[in-house]
Structure 1
Amino acid sequence: MDVVLINPEDRTAVKNKLGFVLPPLNLMYLGAALERASFTVQIIDDDLRRMGAEGVARIVEGINPLIVGITATTATIRTSLEYIRAIKNRLPDVLTVIGGPHPTFLPVDTLQECRDLDVVVMGEGEATIIDLAETYEKGGPGSLDDVAGITYREGDRIRTNRARPLIEDLDEIPFPARHLVPFRDYETSSQDAGGMITSRGCVYPCRYCSSSLIMGKKFRFRSPENVVDEVEELVDVYGLHDIAFLDDTFMLHRRRAREIAEEIQRRNIDVSFVTSSRVDMVQESLLRDLRAAGMRTIYYGVESGCQRVLDMMKKGITVKQAEDAVRAARKAGVEVITSFILGYPGEKPSEMDRTIDFSIKLDPDYSQYSILTPFPGTPLYAELRRQGLIEDDWENYTVIKPVIKYEKLGLSRELIQKKLVKAYLRFYSRPSYLLRHSYMIRVFLETLYRTYIEPKIPFKKN
């Protein structure tokens, strides 16, 4: 085996809306790229298997690969480095590589924290991992100085190479190697398992978001034909008829979105799908076209019901646009999910209450709430770090735990936590809502547990 890719166990309280474990789409993309370059690849999803660092290290030792790669978010970075240490202890000569949003923005810090880590891949990884694997296979650890897009250890020094250009033609990237994971073992809905990405990059300057910094401020997109080819693969090969388009801004290119709908209909594919959109991109006619092709649900990042807070976020939308977007979806016969952020620096408690009231006024089918979490790489993180207003206890970066020192802003972390619980309670406990969505009683109780009770239970490793 040439390369082993690892998805670490996620010990945080939040995974997704129902706590399901999802297939690691990012690693399946890397696996597909490596396979096309004639490398043999194995993916170990320990978030599914739960073997722990030592258990995975024993398996990797038996495989004895050339390279071990692992992914990390901010919440999982410490866990990911545990895996690296355990593997390096058994295989001192293996090249250890890490990627993902957290190490992308803190590559030097990540290498300094773990002496057993050799390389950080920054940003988009498909081209970089191939270049890294080919270079290392030919020349060993002393040959990495010309691999773009990495920060790496060279003896006692840490070096950062030139940035790698973004992949211009996304149609050239192979479909995720879903055959490398035990696809049927995931206890999730087919929609979640059938997640796919049709575009990369974001042109908007939201101060709490790092998407544009990871994937670029230029909107890059796959052709409608290429997108629907993958839809067909999910339907024909994996038997999935519920799919989620996971793009940040699926509807930024409206004509392309309409062409995707038309291509699905032209091929007569029996599929139901979920998309997301900014509220200022919505057109009722486009929603109707997408609905005719199978779109069942749309996700709106509304974030606040207070215009002053939206302006502080640099969200670039209005409260009225949010109202109009929900109304348009209703008219098109599409379910609506809205998301909101509580605790933005400078936000008043009364404004958080206005956001909760606004979410109820919109009356979507589902609503998600989170606590403002300024991840490394975001403009807001840099500002709060300079002001000494943020903690670096990465395990708390779960979007349901306050990581800002609100006491210095005249508030308290306890208050922000209570506002989050209040939001879920008020939205999902309405009798009128539960009468229409009786199956959501389980979700409501699960959310309360994960939001308020589970975070207070000390983590115990089995």
Structure 2
Amino acid sequence: MKVLLLSMPDVVPIIIHEAAVHMPNHGIACVGGNIDPEHEVHLVDLIRKRRSVRRYLSRLMERLQPDLVGLSAMAWQYDTCIRIARLLKALRPETKIAIGGYHATLMHEEIATAPEARWIDFMIRGEGEEAFRRLVNGLAGCDDLAAIPSLSYKQGDAFVHNERAANLDLATLRLPIRDKRRLTWGYHMVNAKIEVLETSRGCTRACTFCSMKHMYGRSFRAYPLERVLDDLDDIYYRCRARWVFVSDDNFVLYPARVMELCEAIIARNYRGLHFCVQADCRTMASNEEMVAKMAEAGFCSVFLGIESGSAKNLKLAGKGDIVDASRRAVRMCHKYQMMVIGGLVFGFPPDDVDSIRETYEFFRDIDADAAYCQILTPYPKTGMRQQLLDEDLIVNKSDYKKYNGLWANVRTRHLSAEELHYQFWYQRQVVLGWWKPSPLMARQGRLWTSIWRFAFKPLLQWRHRRAMAKHGWRGLYLQEVEHWQQMNTFSDLEGYR
């Protein structure tokens, strides 16, 4: 069997420009790495081909002539996913199309009865490695589709949904694909080569806005230590990458495990290797020994789920009151020379103009290094979606293309969706202002922070002053909205709705 795995070209420029950070899609790399070796497998991250998606895929399909194409998509990428599925069927009708990822997992029943189902042959629900491996073998005549857990397949024009599989034993999984079977390259964080590592799956926290529990349940599983180190060896020695993004939902959930892993990394003596991770504020604030060991092992950037400076909003999100923990976590990270990217969420039901401004002021005052700001998104099947539906606060229930955290799909008790979207943008401009690299960031990224300070920032400030004189804040906002609207519009796919 010839298998092609594709990730979507859609991006979200929430921290910095959408071209400044491109990381490989780890999901399709893991699925591809676990397909049995007698099959021919190739991977493509379409984020690297977003300027010519149709032309690139047309040439690729002619060259590879795959028997099966797997598409992975989040909810906000699903529209693009279906257009690509239709294009692939037009290019090679005999090729089978399988979709997977969060959206297919959460919405498989709705997809099965929707008009676009005619372009889809299979759906993989939940973790894809074993189900997709068996699907490939089944199409090769070596397995029974009806016996494959987590697979949805067609009988005639209707989908049959097999029983959902139990969570996988991570110790059985092979390494993800990072070799020449990956047909796209150039993954980077600004000017440095970057790869993705997974050391665990799942989270036991109860955040109501998160869809992750629909993939794994409210659970946590860790890869065996030796498996993680083998993965790191592949990244460090064969790929020669020196930056690693750890994709775990909450890397620090169990501090004893983090300490053990850090000790092993230190013993491995990877020189110049840097890690970026995602962590919760409570654990980072209360485990100084762990944070110190992380810094010693090369962890230098931490994403913290701060979410809000309002205890009321945090309670609605299922986070608990972590306001003080957020302050202490930032201080702890800075004590050990770790940069902090703080996640903020706006658009909770009680939010008004003052609370939005106060959250930005809270973030400024705790001295985090960069902000990752999103508007509360009512992802399908989440607890938060139901809460918002109960209050009739969702204004966009079905256009999932705008479910990427950048758009206001909800209103609050005090703000319309349009005003929420504007205040989300405007208050950031006036409270946080122009990004100023902290001394820590300036030391760790001398080249790119210097380019920002002495080249890009002065130029952009000059352009901003001219634009402000001509358009004012509202005019600048409308220009930004127009850019966002065009960002994931792929003109060469327009005919494939």
- The answer, yes or no, to whether TM exceeds 0.5 is yes
Q: Is the contact made by 1:287 and 1:332 (CA closer than 8 Å) also made in structure 2?
A: yes
In the alignment, which of 308, 331, 341 is matched to residue 335 of structure 2?
A: 331
Which has the higher mean CA deviation after the structures are superposed, 409-418 or 201-210?
409-418
1:414 alignment counterpart: 418
Pairing 1:429–2:429 present: no
CA RMSD of superposed structures (Å): 2.9
Whole-angstrom CA distance in 2 between matches of 1:342 and 1:6? 32
Change beyond 3 A, Cα 1:297–1:9? closer
Aligned partner letter, 1:365? D
Q: 1:32 to 1:154 in 2, by over 3 A?
A: same
Contact 1:191 1:243 in 2 (8 A): no
Matches within 5 A, 1:36-435: 36-50=36-50, 51-53=52-54, 55-111=56-112, 112-114=114-116, 115-138=118-141, 143-168=144-169, 170-179=170-179, 180-182=181-183, 184-186=185-187, 188-189=189-190, 193-270=194-271, 271-282=273-284, 283-385=287-389, 387=392, 389-391=394-396, 392-404=398-410, 406=411, 409-425=413-429, 426-429=431-434
| Counterpart in the other structure of 2:470 | none
Q: For 2:441 and 2:236, locate their aligned partners in 1 and report how far apart those are by CA, in whole Å.
A: 30
8 A Cα contact 1:4 1:60, kept in partner: no
- Matches of 1:354 and 1:455, distance apart in 2: 25
- Contact kept, 8 Å, 1:84 with 1:116, in 2: the verdict is yes
1:191 CA displacement = 6.3
Q: Please report how far the alpha carbon of residue 58 of structure 1 lies from its aligned counterpart in structure 2 after TM superposition.
A: 4.9
- TM-superposed CA distance for 1:420, in Å, is 2.3
Q: Which moved more, 1:355-364 or 1:322-331?
A: 322-331
Where structure 2 has 5 or more consecutive residues not aligned to the other structure, the ranges are 443-448, 465-475, 493-497
1:23 is paired with a residue of what secondary structure?
A: coil
Question: Structure 2 vs 1, CA of residues 120 and 22 (structure 1 numbering), >3 Å: closer, same or farther?
Answer: same
Matched with 2:445 is none
Say if 1:190 and 1:241, in contact at 8 Å, map to a contact too. Answer: no
Residue 109 of structure 1: CA displacement? 2.2
Letter in 2 for 1:394: Y
Indicate how the Cα distance of structure 1 residues 190 and 31 shifts in structure 2: closer, same or farther if over 3 A, else same: farther
Do the aligned residues in 2 keep the contact of 1:190 with 1:240 (CA within 8 Å)?
no
Contact 1:284–1:329, Cα closer than 8 Å, also in 2: no
Partner of 2:407, secondary structure, is: coil
Shift of 1:171: 2.8
User: Is the CA contact (8 Å cut-off) linking 2:23 and 2:196 kept in structure 1?
Assistant: no
* Secondary structure of 1:6 counterpart: strand
Mapped partners of 1:431, 1:225: distance in 2: 40
Three-state SS of the structure 2 residue aligned to 1:75 is: helix
TM-superposed deviation, 1:432: 9.0
Describe the superposition over 1:216-257 as per-residue Cα deviations: whole angstroms up to 9, x where unpaired: 211100123322222222111111122121211101111111
The farther-off stretch of 434-443 and 213-222 is 434-443
Q: 1:199, 1:220 within 8 Å by CA — same for their partners in 2?
A: yes
Query: Structure 2 vs 1, CA of residues 311 and 257 (structure 1 numbering), >3 Å: closer, same or farther?
Result: same
Q: What SS does the aligned partner of 1:97 have?
A: strand
Determine the C-alpha separation between the residues in 2 that align with 1:190 and 1:226.
29
Matched letter for residue 331 of structure 1: K
AA of the residue aligned to 2:484: P
Aligned length: 455
1:455 corresponds, among 479, 484, 496, to 484
Helix, strand or coil at the partner of 1:233: helix
Q: Supply the AA of the counterpart residue of 1:213.
A: H
Whether the aligned pair in 1 keeps the contact of 2:302 and 2:340 (CA below 8 Å) is yes
Post-superposition offset of 1:382: 3.8
Structure 1 unaligned regions, length at least 5? none
Query: Counterparts of 1:455 and 1:373 in 2: how far apart (Å)?
Result: 16
Q: Give the corresponding residue for 1:18.
A: 17
Structure 2 letter corresponding to 1:177: I
Aligned to 1:5: 5
Question: What is the CA–CA distance in structure 1 between the aligned matches of 2:139 and 2:190, rounded to whole Å?
Answer: 39
Instruction: Note if contact 2:379-2:385 (Cα within 8 Å) is conserved in structure 1.
Output: yes
The residue type paired with residue 265 of structure 1 is: I
- TM-score scaled to structure 2, two decimals? 0.84
Q: CA deviation at 1:66?
A: 2.1
CA shift for structure 1 position 208: 0.7
**Distance in 2 between residues matched to 1:198 and 1:339, nearest whole Å:** 22
Counterpart secondary structure, 2:69: strand
> Given residue 233 of structure 2, which amino acid in structure 1 is its aligned partner?
E
* 8 A Cα contact 1:9 1:46, kept in partner: yes
Answer yes or no: is the 8 Å Cα contact 2:102–2:126 preserved in 1.
yes
Give me the whole-angstrom Cα distance separating, in 1, the residues matched to 2:302 and 2:148: 40
Q: TM-score, normalised by structure 1?
A: 0.90
Superposition deviation, residue 118 in structure 1: 1.1
Q: Using the alignment, how far apart are the partners of 1:61 and 1:4 within structure 2? A: 12
Q: CA deviation at 1:94?
A: 2.4
Residues 261 and 290, structure 1, Cα contact 8 Å, conserved in 2: yes
Post-superposition Cα deviations, 1:291-311, rounded to whole Å, max 9, x if no partner, equal 111111221110000101100
When residues 228 and 431 of structure 1 are mapped into structure 2, their CA distance, relative to the original with a 3 A threshold, is closer
Q: Distance in 1 between matches of 2:76 and 2:65?
A: 28
Give the whole-Å Cα distance in 2 for the aligned partners of 1:232 and 1:21: 21
Q: Percent identity?
A: 23
